[in-house]
A and B are shown apart, each in its own frame.
Chain A
Amino acid sequence: MSDPANRTHTLRLELVDEPGELLRALAPIADNGGNLLSIFHERGSLTPRGRIPVEVDLECAPQRFEDVVAALRDAGVTVIAADAEHYGEAVTVLLVGDLVAADLSGVLESVEECSAASVVDFTLTDEAGTDGDASARLRLAVEAGGASDALATVREVAAERELHVVEPLVGDA
């Protein structure tokens, strides 16, 4: 399914809180050659319009992405934005090091305090490596165009606590 020529895209959808809505929103993606990479279903957090925000990462051939978006809209799915530059961005970043000593929850607080970012998700590896180091994956929601600032904050906070950061390439597909 994965083709090296494929590009990765992020779609931000808003769904009505009704059974079957998510499935209905995903069908047009697969029908148009999109390969789903991840679905972030923010149940419990409602948009101002009372809908459920859903973020979908997918990959597809470069020329098919427009088709995917059009098919979603044809199917009555609300597409808030297609790809990062058009909307509040989601960035994923890895932290590596002695996360216990570094006080991970303190790290998350500092990131939220210092930048216009909110930590929407984080995942920890369950076992530390041979030297006691562990890894964490942070998913940040940031305002449009704010990814660079948010990542700069993560760098600063991580450096203070002797953690290594693996950043995404901002602006790259």
Chain B
Amino acid sequence: MKLAVLGAGAVGRAVVGLADEYGHTVTAVADSASAVVDADGVDPEAVLAHKREEGVVGDGDPSHALATDYDVLVEATPTTLGDAEPGFGHVRGALETDRHVVLANKGPVAERYDDVRALADESAGSLRFEATVGGAIPALATIEGVGPSRVNAARGVLNGTANFVLTRMAAEGLEYEHVLAEAQDLGVAEADPSFDVDGTDAALKCAILANVIHGGGYSLADVDVNGITEIPPSALDLAAEEGQTVRLVGEVTDGGVRVGPRLVPEHGTLAVTGTTNIVQLETEHAGRLNLSGQGAGGAATASAVLADVDRLD
């Protein structure tokens, strides 16, 4: 397959770096300021070095990336809320010209799922977005395998930053602000971690899960969202006295979609530690399925993107 990769953050760069190993050719790479295009395949090493040294992937205009010859658009630009632009426009452009689309960007399927689905239905190209939920964890492929109608509920810990903070607070008895600063020093939390700690990131992933399980109709606005910023160490102490702990849990049930801090058994399945994510599915005939693993990181998330590419027709 010929891949056009939009977005040169950790995931986009890792896709460029790993594509050859998966037997694919990258014909275009673009970041917000530039693009590099070669119908015979760009040189991944050279592109990544250019990005590292110059801060941009190449000299071309970013809008030229989708004018080249490609089979699959890998959309890995930053997630945006509301109209999900510019990601949505990229998806539209690819599907309207009958290309496949693989998303790492949550915006289009979290905020405008029904619009994206309609475009995909009209297109000869397919749409996949495994990487948008739980990073490396094959959550959506598992739901697809079980059959969305046979998944009665999904819940999970879907934000590594929030989970790292809660884990450290419980282990060390430290205040939220202190642990967050530590997480930022370690590179676990971003300079502006609000999407992670206020629950927005987990809520977007839950909206996507709800769309997959219920066949659409959900966006961030449909999710009841609470973050972890108000949780003091004393709350974690009280939980620990009863063999419990607190996790930022996202829940998709018939009753709705919720994200918030919840009490879970300290040694229970959902109490994953550090930056680990978990997705738990309640299925009609197969009981409970637990999938845990790396929920973020360039190579881990890129592996989900490339697995999607392999699943295309």
Residues of A bordering B, CB below 8 Å:
2-4, 6-8, 37-38, 57, 59, 92-94, 96-97, 123, 125, 127, 129-130, 133-137, 148, 164, 166-169, 172-173
Could you jot down 16 A-B contacts, CB within 8 Å?
A: A4-B269, A6-B267, A7-B268, A8-B265, A123-B241, A125-B234, A125-B235, A134-B232, A135-B238, A136-B238, A137-B238, A137-B241, A164-B226, A164-B230, A164-B261, A172-B264
What 0/1 pattern do residues 162 to 178 of B give for CB contact below 8 A with A? Answer: 00000000000001000
Supplied contacts A93-B263, A129-B233, A137-B242, 5 more A-B pairs, CB within 8 Å: A4-B267, A137-B238, A166-B261, A167-B260, A172-B155
**CB proximity of B162 to chain A, nearest CB, Å:** 13
Which residues of A have CB within 8 Å of B244?
Answer: 92, 168
Query: A-facing mask of B258-278, CB < 8 A → 1, else 0?
Result: 001111111111100000000
Most buried by A among B175, B255, B268: B268
- Which B residue sits closest to A36, measured CB to CB? B243
B265 surroundings in chain A (CB, below 8 A): 8, 37, 59, 173
Residues of B188-241 at the interface with A, using a CB-CB cut-off of 8 Å, are 226, 230-235, 237-239, 241
- Let me know if B231 and A96 touch, CB within 8 A: yes
Q: Which residues of A have CB within 8 Å of B232?
A: 96, 129, 133-135
Is the C-beta of B299 less than 8 angstroms from some C-beta in chain A?
A: no
**A94's contact among B226, B235, B243, by CB below 8 Å, is which?**
B235
Q: Considering the chains assembled together, what is the distance between the CA atoms of A101 and B84 in angstroms?
A: 42
B234 touches A168 (CB 8 A): no
Contact, CB under 8 Å: A135 / B235: yes
Which residues of chain B come closer than 8 Å to A7, judged between CB atoms?
A: 268
Q: Does the CB pair B155–A169 fall under 8 Å?
A: yes
Contact with A along B151-167 (1 / 0, CB 8 A): 00001000000000000
- What chain A residues lie within 8 Å of B261 (beta carbons)? 164, 166
State the main secondary structure of chain A at its contact with B: strand
A4 to B272 alpha-carbon distance, docked (Å): 10
Inter-subunit contact B262/A167 (CB<8 Å): yes
Contact of B263 among A6, A127, A130, A167 (CB under 8 A): A167
Nearest neighbor of A123 in chain B, beta-carbon distance:
B238
Q: A97-B230, A123-B238, A166-B235 are in contact. Are A59 and B263 (CB under 8 A)?
A: no
B: contact size bracket: 20 to 34
- B237 A125 Cβ-Cβ under 8 A: yes
CA distance A75 to B263 in the complex (A): 33
Give A97 to B260 CA distance when docked, in angstroms: 16
Chain B residues whose C-beta falls within 8 Å of the C-beta of A164 in the assembled complex? 226, 230-231, 261
| Identity of the chain A residue whose Cβ is nearest the Cβ of B227 in the assembled complex | A164
Q: Are A169 and B263 in contact (CB under 8 A)?
A: yes
Assembled-state Cα–Cα distance A172/B175 (Å)? 28
A167 to B251, CA, bound (A): 12
* Cα distance, A68 to B242, chains bound together (Å): 21
Question: Known interface pairs A129-B234, A164-B230. Does A94 touch B239 (Cβ–Cβ under 8 Å)?
Answer: yes
Whether B246 is near chain A, meaning CB under 8 Å from some CB there, is yes
Q: Does B249 contact A (CB under 8 A)?
A: yes
A130 surroundings in chain B (CB, below 8 A): 175
Chain B residues within 8 Å of A93, by CB: 263
Contact: B242 with A38, CB < 8 Å?
Answer: yes
B282 to A, closest residue via Cβ: A171
Q: Which residues of A contact B246 (CB under 8 A)?
A: 94, 166
Q: Are B263 and A92 touching (Cβ within 8 A)?
A: yes
Q: Please determine whether A169 and B226 come into contact, CB atoms closer than 8 angstroms.
A: no
Chain A residue at smallest Cβ distance from B269:
A4
Q: A94-B235, A125-B237, A129-B232 are in contact. Are A166 and B243 (CB under 8 A)?
A: no
Give Cα A148 to B255, complex, Å: 11
Closest B residue to A58 by beta carbon equals B243
Q: Are B262 and A168 in contact (CB under 8 A)?
A: yes
User: Contacts of B269 on A, CB cut-off 8 Å?
Assistant: 4, 173
- State which of B231, B266, B267, B270 has its C-beta within 8 Å of the C-beta of A172: B270
B267, A2: Cβ atoms closer than 8 Å: yes
Within the assembled complex, what's the spacing in Å between the Cα atoms of A50 and B175? 47
